[in-house]
Amino acid sequence: MSFPWAEQYTPVNPLMKWVDDRLPLPRFVYNAVGAGYAVPRNLNYWWNFGVLSGFALVLQLVTGIILAMHYGANAGVAFDSVEHIMRDVNGGWLLRYAHANGASFFFIVVYIHIFRGLFFGSYKAPREMVWLLGLVIFLLMMATAFMGYVLPWGQMSFWGAKVITGLFGAIPVVGEPIQTWLLGGFAPGNAALNRFFSLHYLLPFVIAAVVILHIWALHIPGSSNPTGVDVKGPQDTVPFHPYYTAKDGFGLGVFLIIYALVLFFGPNMLGHPDNYIPANPMSTPAHIVPEWYFWPFYAILRAFTFDFFFVPAKLLGVLAMFASILLLFVLPWLDTSPVRSGRYRPLFRKFFYLLLVDVAILGYCGGAPAAEPYVMISQIAAAYYFAHFLIILPIVSKIERPLPLPNSITEAVLGHEPAAVAAE
């Protein structure tokens, strides 16, 4: 599609030709994820995680649609209907554990996918739109995951819903009416549960639609690669199929092994025991924590302990939490270095690794009780998080002296011998 040397779709089968002449769907698929898509030959295993994210989305859609056949979205029966799935529905325990852990694994692969983009500069021109659409997917995922966690109507479901909708209560003047409107009441109840179920069912299809846009936008410039050097000619690329379908097949196998180990041998490892207690509006669990994939953001939310003049600390925390994600939308314009890949950016690389550690610390603090020393640690970590993106990255991209870039992808793969390059 994007390169003139990409293989053209020529249907062998007369039926496919008949279809292709009338609706070029086979051609579309061929050019999107078939041999018609020319991909840099040097992608490493970090590039597997896009396909894995897509797989996780499909996994969640399939298991979710099935669970919805047995689940009752009513505060009176929701908890028991989940237990009905676990105990009485044929294979229900497997489907429910697959869905609950599938959410965690969806976030694991998406986080790796995001950090891959951060390190290799995949957000830079001409792929800004890919990055922006990816962030939209991430936000939709967070909303979907949050509402999904409410559905079992356990203690963490109830109190999570209360706390997160309470964030909107921090907005001056309109906050409380918005919170009441979101919940359809003054506390989470049947109205909230029902609308969360409706939206939890809807949003994954919106995600799927944005994923299509994300892949479409990717196919305009084509995939980036670990060197960050542009594709120069046919010798730099291989057809997606069979080269990367084979590599993704292997990656999928490894992913499924790890997923199966958790699913079958520790299915509650990533969950919280309190969610096996039915929702009780009269008693709050000792530590309310969201699911692990929200912990870094939860830590930022709780890190603000002081009012700034007329802005209360609670509002600051909410603003900062949203800002921590929204700032990623301007990242392509904050990092102005012409070099994409972190491999050739020694200073950037050091700060990138620091950011990885920083987010891990934030995650740990977000899962810990809201007490010292975790709050103080998360304050330092959150300060670095903002400084990293908003202050350090723009400066680094100005002052850094990048390492010399290879002339082409093929040269990076084969080394500098001109003979080898010519032979290709």
Partner 1 sequence: MATVETSETAVSAAEGEGVRRRDFINVAAVAFAGVGAVAVLPTLINQMNPSADVLAAATTEVDLSAIKPGQAIKAVFRSQPLFVRQLTPKEIAEADARPVASLRDPQSLEERTQPGKKQWLVTMGVCTHLGCVPLGAGEGEVRGEFGGYFCPCHGSSYDTAARIIKGPAPKNLEVPEYKFTSDTAILVG
Partner 2 sequence: MVRLLAALVGIFFSGMLLYSFGSGAVAYISEPPVPTVEHEFHEHPRQIAWSFDGPLGHYDKQQLQRGFQVYKEVCSACHSLRLVAFRDLKDLGYNEAEVKAIAKNWAIKAPDIDPKTGEPSTRAPVPADHFPLPFANNVAAQAANNNAIPPDLSLMTKSRHDGSNYVHSLLTGFGPQPKKLLEEFPDAKTPNGLHYNRYFANLNLAMAPPLTAEGQVTYGPGQPKPTVDQMAQDVSAFLTWTAEPKLENRKSAGIAVVFFLLVATVLAYLSYQTIWADKKH
Residues that bind partner 1 (CB under 8 A): 35, 62, 66, 69-70, 84, 87-92, 94-95, 241-243, 245-246, 249
* Residue 375 is a binding residue for partner 2 (CB under 8 A): yes
Of 32 and 320, nearer to partner 2 (C-beta) is 320
* Residue 281 is a binding residue for partner 2 (CB under 8 A): no
> Residue 247 Cβ, how far from partner 1 at the closest point, in Å?
12
* Residue 267 is a binding residue for partner 2 (CB under 8 A): yes
Site for partner 2 in 296-325 (CB under 8 A): 303-306, 308, 316, 320, 323
> Residue 209 Cβ, how far from partner 2 at the closest point, in Å?
29
Of 108 and 183, nearer to partner 2 (C-beta) is 108
Which residues have a catalytic role annotated?
A: 219, 223, 247-248, 291
Of 218 and 263, nearer to partner 2 (C-beta) is 263
Residue 208's binding partner out of partner 2, partner 1, none, with CB under 5 to 8 Å set by partner kind: none
* Residue 330 is a binding residue for partner 2 (CB under 8 A): yes
* Residue 83 is a binding residue for partner 2 (CB under 8 A): yes
* Residue 391 is a binding residue for partner 2 (CB under 8 A): yes
- Cis amide leading into 242 (omega within 30): yes
Site for partner 2 in 181-210 (CB under 8 A): none
* Residue 417 is a binding residue for partner 2 (CB under 8 A): no
Of 163 and 334, nearer to partner 2 (C-beta) is 334
